[in-house]
Amino acid sequence: MARKPTLRETPLPKTAAAKPLSVVAPSVQTPAQAPSADKRDPHPHAALDRAAMASLARFTGGLSPHAMIDAWSDWAMHLGRAPGRQLELMERAQSNALKLMHFTAAQMFGQTADKPFKPGRYDTRWSHQGWDKPPYALWQQGFLATQDWWHAATSELRGLRRQNADRTGFLMRQLLDTVSPSNFPLGNPEILDKTLASGGRNLIDGAAHYADDARHILAQEHRPVPEAFALGEVLASTPGVVVYRNDLMELIQYTPTTAKVQAEPVLIVPAWIMKYYILDLSPENSLVRWLVGQGYTVFCISWHNPGADDAELSLEAYRKQGIMQALEVINGIAPGQKVHANGYCLGGTLLAIAAAAMARDGDDRLASVTLMAAQVDFAEAGELLLFLDESQVAFLEDLMWSQGYLDRPQMSGAFAAIRSEDLIWSRAVRRYFLGESDLPTDVTVWVNDTTRMPARMHSEYLRGIFLENRISAGRFAVDGKVIALKDISVPLFVIGTETDHIAPWRSVYKTALFTDCDLHFLLTKGGHNSGILSEPGHRGRHYRIGHRPELALYRDPDTWLAGHEPRPGSWWPEWAGWLARQSSGAVPARTPGADPAYPALERAPGTYIHQT
């Protein structure tokens, strides 16, 4: 049998490296025809500019100070010429002060009074009962009153760019969080109680935790997966084999547990920003294991963790050598059968691109497409938009230009900052002042097992898809020709999660605005990850589901929400039933590795999952 070529043995043409993946101008042009500033030959001194910006980016954690200064100056100048807003803020400050005085007086005289200011829904810093007693209750309320005033001060203002208002508010929240009374041992009743109870042992343990964390950060060391959550034994333990490998991905085929399976296989396309096993965690909450048990032949892509040598990997390479190559292999193993394709997060965005390109080119190998917490339009992409504008993207590009990839801390820091009160400050207090060790769970192990992103691919994604929103605008090209989401004719199943701050459900819902095919939209309880991990039997779960027939009129998300009542339970059986309705019947189960053209290379979960 001939050896399969790897990605580096079939490189992209030399000319492709100079071409943007997507079209720049609104008119229908090929990438080579589109005007681009990159066509100019850069002056030799330009490398000096990029090196200087890259050095600064390492110091700032990848955040552009120019973008921050622009936001502050825009806000300050517009507020300075708005006497009405200034009076409004004066009145709010006076109102907040009076509320605090009333609450303080009640506390001093031992009277009961409701707290005038409430923490945010994700703010767990004030859960200890000591925060209800003086003087801690007064300090807490003073902090929340200040936070409330700044929230009003950085709200929308006529003439002020919405992004700059949001960015200024975000920056002010970060600054205020650094001086929260909960961060200081003498200002936090929980820390004082723990110190008295343990004789100060918590502070000694916390200092050891701080030293350990500092060492790992300075050395840029990747913490190994704990033995209690060993990959392939506890996590990612669904039986299967790797049936194909190139330099970009491994394709895993899972071992059937039923005598018969649906004729159409399922291909899972995970995001490459994290490792695939979020969909194959512990046996009790593994979507892959559950789907195999429902009688499906399941394949899943496991992405390679890129390094400096992979700097020129493009988004097109992920489509061709990832999704399209996986379809080729599956068609060889299950000849004549169409495929149910399922994409999660960025994997879903890439799958939508691939499905639109296949529809345009008359490729009918897909039986259906499922998009889980995946966006195709990024105009309302949530709080991640705070980190993206031209200055910020150029700043990140210079950083990636110097090192060849975007590293783990530079990505995870942005996600943590969005929920800093819980993901940064509450954890710091627990770990460094209360002396509590991080208790790993299957989800937290996966969260910490991050990957890198190659420079070229991430730049194309940030610019073409996120910043310029070309997919839904009809300006995104594949193989030199524009794609259109409305060309997709196979049934769509789109899943949003209620509290998703990475892919807000209203943004995910907009898939219905840009497609005309038969579409089911499902909204489930939970966040970006927890909403997807919603196995049957999970307590407190519910979902809503609606059907949009082919060519039906569009309904806005709020109208859709009002018209669909929540149903108790997991959404997984609902999806499996939908898959069954798109399938053609049962066939004998397929043994992984039995096809001589695609023998078993090794047991699942393969090699790439272990790359650090």
Question: Would you list the DSSP string of 284-350?
Answer: GG-HHHHHHHTT--EEEEEE----GGGTT--HHHHIIIIIIHHHHHHHHHSTT--EEEEEETHHHHH
pLDDT at 293: 97
User: What pLDDT does 410 receive?
Assistant: 58
Residue at token pair 């009129």: 553
Q: What is the pLDDT of residues 128-139, one digit of tens each?
A: 999 999 999 999
Let me know whether 158 and 239 are in one domain: no
Before 135, cis peptide (omega within 30)?
yes
Residue 421 lies in a domain: no
- The answer to whether residue 388 scores a pLDDT higher than 80 is no
Domain shared by 172 and 236, yes or no: no
Q: Are residues 519 and 372 in the same domain?
A: yes
Residues 482 and 386 in one domain: yes
DSSP labels for 370-403?
Answer: EEES--S--TT-GGGGGG-SHHHHHHHHHHHHHH
Q: Do 262 and 369 belong together in one domain?
A: yes
Three-class DSSP category at 133: coil
Q: How confident is the model at residue 417 (pLDDT cuts 50, 70, 90)?
A: low
In a domain, 222, yes or no: no
Over residues 465-484, the mean pLDDT reads 93
Contact (Cβ atoms closer than 8 angstroms) between residue 457 and residue 485: no
pLDDT(5) > 50: no
Mean per-residue pLDDT for 362-376?
97
* pLDDT tens-digit series, residues 290-316: 999 999 999 999 999 999 899 999 999
Number of domains making up the chain: 2
Single residue among 152, 179, 206 that ends a domain in this structure: 179
Q: Which of 179, 206, 237 is the last residue of a domain?
A: 179
The secondary element (H helix, E strand) that includes residue 163 is helix 162-178
CA distance 447 to 375: 21
Pair 174, 319 in one domain: no
pLDDT of residue 408: 62
For residue 606, is it within any domain?
A: yes
Task: Answer whether residue 4 shows pLDDT above 50.
Answer: no
Q: What is the CATH number of the domain that holds 585?
A: 3.40.50.1820
Rounded to 5°, the CA angle 280-338-315 comes to 60
- pLDDT tens-digit map of 24-45: 333 333 333 333 334 456 777 7
Residues 599, 87: Cα–Cα separation, whole Å: 74
88 and 174 housed in the same domain: yes
DSSP sequence for 244-269 = EE-SSEEEEEEPP-SSEEESS-EEEE
The reply to whether 379 and 519 lie within a common domain is: yes
Task: Tell me the CA distances in angstroms from 36 to 154, 404, 464, 522, one per residue in order.
Answer: 36, 22, 12, 40
Banded model confidence at residue 394, pLDDT cuts 50, 70, 90 = confident
Q: Are residues 259 and 120 in the same domain?
A: no
Instruction: Give the mean pLDDT of 54-71.
Output: 79
pLDDT (tens digit, 9 = 90+) per residue, 195-215? 999 999 999 999 999 999 888
The more confident residue out of 153 and 121 is 153
- Cβ contact 182:429 at 8 Å: yes
pLDDT greater than 50 at residue 13 = no
Q: Of 179, 200, 216, which closes a domain?
A: 179
The boundaries of the domain holding residue 75 are 65-179
Is the bond leading into 605 cis (omega within 30 degrees of zero)?
yes
How large is the average pLDDT for residues 82-87?
A: 95
- Tokens 């095919």 sit at which residue? 517
Catalytic residues: 345
Cβ(476)–Cβ(470) under 8 Å? yes
Q: Which residue has the tokens 């991050």?
A: 450
Any domain includes 12: no
Residue 443 and residue 284: Cα distance in Å, rounded? Answer: 13
Residues 172 and 240 in one domain: no
Q: Is residue 239 part of a domain?
A: yes
| Assigned domain for 187 exists | no
How far apart CA 173 and CA 526 sit, in angstroms, is 24
Average pLDDT in the 160-185 region? 91
Whether residue 220 is contained in a domain is answered as no
Average pLDDT estimate for 406-433 = 74
Distance, CA of 557 to CA of 549 (rounded, Å)? 16
Reduced to 3 states (helix: H, G, I; strand: E, B; else coil), residue 20 is coil
Distance separating alpha carbons of residues 59 and 62, to the nearest angstrom:
8
- The 10s digit of each residue's pLDDT in 213-269 is 888 877 777 788 898 999 999 999 999 999 999 999 999 999 999 999 999 999 999
Lowest mean pLDDT among 220-224, 345-349, 592-596: 220-224
Cα separation, 287 vs 229, whole angstroms: 17
pLDDT of 88 over the 70 cut: yes
Count of alpha carbons within 13 Å of 396, Cβ hemisphere only?
26
Number of Cβ within 10 Å of residue 418's Cβ equals 16
The residues, any chain, with a CB within 8 Å of residue 32's CB and separated by 6 or more, are 19, 480
Looking at the structure, do residues 585 and 499 belong to the same domain, yes or no? yes
- Residue 295 belongs to a domain: yes
166 and 248, same domain (yes or no)? no
